[in-house]
Chains A and B, each alone.
Chain A
């Protein structure tokens, strides 16, 4: 099992103050002030939940939720962290009810992020649903390094294209796809991905979204001999390698912990058929 790389910051466990918690299309955008937040690498995540460390501690729901760091800023006196999420269950419903000034517990930054490398090779970032949240910091970091970047965002309809405007503000090509055609191309993210890979087989792919989407992106990349990185989203209780709940089957046999060896993996490391 590969451990997290040296360059990253040790995680903190602390309480964050909600600065804003607003709708972003069909999702929500939560902005937090996090004292002592050390910064993060694109693709890292945090564990957050209105549980043990909140103003009114509660045991139900019990577990914090893993969420990608959408972006963070450590220049100001109190560092800020943003996450994007969808309301999918009781934990995220409670999170959505938090208002500015309230406290929420978090642990992070956690996990192994994306490789952020300079060069001339095209980087194709493919995001579906809340997977989009994992890609913004990566897109920004690659653009800052001068990499040519194409971002392909997909959702059922245009309300699911989270943070579309943030991506549009980057010096990168943005392609949107919706299944109902309410914005951009009608169809799936795999269509523009296949076109781009056909045109540029030296490209690298960074895909984050539902498992079937990542698997399809990985297959397209493999057909063209392109590298493909994915970020897995298995359920986990701790986020730092002790509950062992987030095991993902490896292509070579055995399991890797998504929280420590990942969440970012090269697609070839994963036994896609063995994922639940």
Chain B
């Protein structure tokens, strides 16, 4: 019997018991999953993106199934900063690692939100959602324009001393350039990718299936795109990367680690299997053990690219 695999990793300066986080917008405020998994057995979770005030989202239909994926246009429906800090956070088990997600329409709003969040002792880090692909007035401009993105990260960096993570949009031509901007402005980590902008049509009604017309595509359909972007970004920056996009099992997660991610996020799969993150964390450790890795952290960047 060999020594157990060391599952711990570090992402953006946050020590994690294992590399499996859950993605913002797919995990509510954590407590919804209490019947299905132990929040103290996954690496942590990124809570639903918050705005300063509570916010209702788009009218229905908000979601639609597509081949191996789903479209959504929820539009950052959330309880608002106050209710999150006062009601949602205290309901979580002590050992749960919580990363908050901030969303705003201008850098000053992001900065205020991130500042308040990062001061809370239960919040291990702040992920700024620079990439929500379906809010007309919001995130998309930041994540798609290097200048706006730089301004955003710079402003938020001024207000928080703790870990600052930027979640990038995949809806750009050069993802590595966006990552370099984040690195240059002092971010501690990068999460990628957010949902891929997409649409679907119902030919019977001749209407878009979503009330918002455009939505974000997630699920296994986007996994190869996400993997490609993680690999490109890992070669371009030194910042730690959290890989996300269509992860359904441990093998999927390992692919992201091999391509250079330090941690991963499970997203849409939480809907179909609310215990998935715990299952995937166990599976990564098993993979490491079976393949001669003493530490899960050593999987990061261990991709063999002959001839490269």
Chain A residues in contact with chain B, CB under 8 A? 10-13, 49, 51-53, 57, 59-64, 105, 107, 234-238, 240-249, 254-255, 274-276
Establish whether residues A242 and B63, one from each chain, have CB atoms under 8 Å apart when the complex forms.
Answer: no
**Given A52-B248, A248-B60, A255-B56: A63 in contact with B270 (beta carbons within 8 A):** no
Q: What 1/0 flags go to B259-270 for Cβ under 8 Å of A?
A: 000000000111
The listed residue (B69, B271, B275) touching A243 by CB distance below 8 A is B271
Beta-carbon contact of B272 and A63 below 8 Å:
yes
Say yes or no: A255 contacts B77, CB within 8 Å. Answer: yes
Interchain Cβ contacts under 8 Å between A and B, 7 examples: A12-B35, A13-B273, A53-B272, A238-B271, A245-B62, A246-B60, A275-B60
Minimum CB–CB distance from A67 to chain B (whole Å) comes to 15
With A13-B36, A238-B270 already in contact, the answer to whether A243 and B26 are too (CB < 8 A) is yes
Given contacts A62-B219, A275-B60, contact A242 B27 (CB under 8 A): yes
Q: Are A276 and B211 in contact (CB under 8 A)?
A: yes
Contact check, B248 vs A59: say whether CB atoms are below 8 A apart. Answer: yes
> Min CB distance, A98 to chain B, in Å?
17
> In the complex, A76→B69 CA distance in Å?
38
Given A243-B26, A255-B77, do A105 and B273 touch, yes or no (CB 8 Å)? Answer: yes
State the CA gap A13–B67 with chains docked (Å).
24
Interface size on B, residues (CB 8 A): 38
A62 touches B69 (CB 8 A): yes
B235 to chain A, nearest CB (A): 28
Report yes or no: A244 in contact with B274, Cβ–Cβ below 8 A: no
Complex contact A247–B77 (CB within 8 A) = yes
Does B77 contact A51, Cβ atoms closer than 8 Å?
no
When C-beta atoms are compared, the residue in chain B nearest to A64 turns out to be: B272
B35 and A276 form a contact (CB under 8 A): no
Say how far A197's CB is from chain B's closest CB, in angstroms: 30
Excluding A237-B72, A242-B28, 17 further A-B contacts by CB distance (< 8 Å) are A13-B35, A52-B248, A59-B68, A61-B65, A62-B68, A62-B220, A63-B70, A64-B271, A64-B272, A105-B272, A235-B64, A242-B32, A242-B33, A255-B56, A274-B59, A276-B61, A276-B211
